[in-house]
Amino acid sequence: MKAMGALLTSLALLGCSAKVDPSAIDYDKIEIPVAQLSSDEARARGRTLFKEKCALCHGERADGHGVRSKGLSGKAVNFGSSDWRSNTSAIAVFEVLSEGMRGTSMPAWPTLSEGQKWDLTAYVLSVAGDGP
Ligand code: HEC
């Protein structure tokens, strides 16, 4: 019984000290906040965040022409493109924000909360329909 207790304790300790490895997230199983994605408030918050953090590369108008868009590894996406819009999904955007895109200039955003990432997702997905 003592051994069992020790085993359980060490398992619990392991559980507490294990760092969350973002690449271990199963994005297929994440619940998509559908209401937030279509909310004008969420899109407006996302737009503000976008101007702060993303416009440098993706452009103030989200058209891929940020002041730093030249010389990046990969081409900063134009979110106004209906082609892009019809080939992506909320979960794909959320995953890119969480993980970045390896081998390109698109960074991961570990400092953003989940809520902020969904706000940004709501915004970028709306650009092709509603404009920047
Ligand atoms: C340092 C420049 C840079 C910044 C800052 C940046 N991005 Fe990117 N982003 C890129 C580049 C370059 C790509 C294209 C990578 C590729 O496919 O080669 C990209 C790709 C993406 C994609 C994937 C598009 C697709 O479907 O292929 C999304 C979504 C995205 N960025 C959103 C954002 C958001 C939202 C922010 C702000 C939080 C942001 N990016 C900030 C450079 C940047």
Pocket flag, ligand 1, residue 51 (CB < 6 Å): no
Q: Judge if the beta carbon of residue 101 lies within 6 A of ligand 1.
A: yes
Q: Residue 90 carries which side chain, given as an amino acid letter?
A: A
For residue 17, the model assigns a pLDDT of: 46
The protein residue whose alpha carbon is closest to atom 7 in ligand 1 is 106
Tens-digit pLDDT profile for residues 72-128: 999 999 999 999 999 999 999 999 999 999 999 999 999 999 999 999 999 999 999
What is the whole-number distance in angstroms between the Cα of residue 57 and the centre of ligand 1?
8
- Altogether, the residues listed in the chain come to a count of 132
Q: Are 74 and 104 in contact, with CB atoms under 8 Å apart?
A: yes
Cα separation, 61 vs 105, whole angstroms = 19
Task: Provide the pLDDT confidence category of residue 23 given band limits of 50, 70 and 90.
Answer: low
From CA 107, how far away is CA 19, in angstroms rounded?
20
Q: Is 53 in the pocket of ligand 1 (CB under 6 A)?
A: yes
12-34 average pLDDT score: 70
Whole-angstrom Cα distance, residue 26 to residue 18? Answer: 17
Q: For a substitution probing ligand 1, which of 101, 113, 120, 124 has the most ligand atoms within 8 Å of its CB?
A: 101
